[in-house]
Amino acid sequence: MNVLGFLRPSIINEVPENHFAVVHPLDDVVEKKVETSTLGSMPMTVSVKLSLMALRGYLILMMLLVLYHVLDLAGVPVQQGH
């Protein structure tokens, strides 16, 4: 068996019975995926809305902490207990 010939892909026109075609995804026929561009925004259930609200709260808290740190680095007296 010619190993190099085996490793080099060739055009497959027909797959004999009881044989298998091995095709790299980039060489394969483009597969039809889920069409998401027409779906629009996700319908928000109450739990999703609550999750996102919690997330916004978390992010606001973190931004305030970053601000606190920046002020601290800038020498603004934001702490009482030194």
Binding site residues, other proteins, CB under 8 A? 6-7, 9-37, 39-43, 48, 51-52, 55, 58-59, 61-62, 65-66, 68-69, 72-73, 79, 81-82
Nearer to other proteins, 6 or 46 (CB): 6
Residue 62 CB, shortest distance to other proteins, in Å, is 5
Distance CA(61)–CA(55), nearest Å, equals: 10
Asked if residues 72 and 79 have their Cβ atoms less than 8 Å apart, the reply is yes
Distance CA(81)–CA(32), nearest Å, equals: 62
Residue 75 CB, shortest distance to other proteins, in Å, is 15
